[in-house]
Amino acid sequence: MSMLDSNYMKDTILRLEGVSKRFATKDGELTILNDVSFAIMPGEKVAIVGPSGSGKSTLLSLIGLLDTPTEGKIFIEGHDVTAQSETALAKLRNESIGFVFQSFELISPFTVYENVAAPLEIAKKSVSSESITALLGEVGLSQRIDALPVTLSGGERQRVAIARALSNNPKLILADEPTGSLDRATGERVLELLLRTVSERQTTLVVITHDDKVAEHMDRVFEIKDGTLYERR
């Protein structure tokens, strides 16, 4: 490997090498992902598209360190995380990765403020009320700090989820169909907010989506076909 190649690999925020994921079923082994390799640089916005059941969510679980590959290696900031302990992976998830889910995944008894502060408390970090309040201002929820999730619209709930994902200042945001449960107009506003916020913070964004209109806003688009990942040109 040349020095240029070595520096490129070191500078990537996320890199997969020959990653495969297989599951045992009563009918035999099922391959979901096969020999997936790609690299993402810091600050890039990337979409991964494909039909339902193509392996998008499985890939996101692997990237988010919620699951481990059957074969291959995953690197975060140049460090091989594939064989790390669950304790080390949990620490890395809390410190470096933010998640935005289609179904919001807010904690019902918690206020908006408490939902956004939760990742910091889980990571045993000090919670600055000023920074949480400022973050909620960024996503347009200054007037809803003390509201409960049940009182929020779908768009507001997703904005809380975005703020929560950003609260730890992660280097990587993983969004799973972030506009999938919203109507078109609300989804467009939420997507615009997400893109603007990660750009301002220079955070890397990986979005799983089946919506080509969402993918059009990204720097790069990958498509899963037959368990393998291809980059659209």
Domains of the chain by residue range = 43-61+84-231
CATH topology of domain 43-61+84-231: Rossmann fold (3.40.50)
Read off the pLDDT of residues 58-110 as tens digits, 9 standing for 90 and up: 999 999 999 999 999 999 988 899 988 888 888 888 888 999 888 888 888 99
In sign, the C-alpha dihedral spanning 22, 9, 87, 57 is: negative
Those residues with Cβ within 8 angstroms of residue 12's Cβ, 6 or more apart along the chain or in another chain: 39, 40, 41, 42, 75, 77, 78
Read off the pLDDT of residues 139-167 as tens digits, 9 standing for 90 and up: 889 899 999 999 999 989 988 999 999 88
What's this model's pTM, rounded to 2 decimal places? 0.87
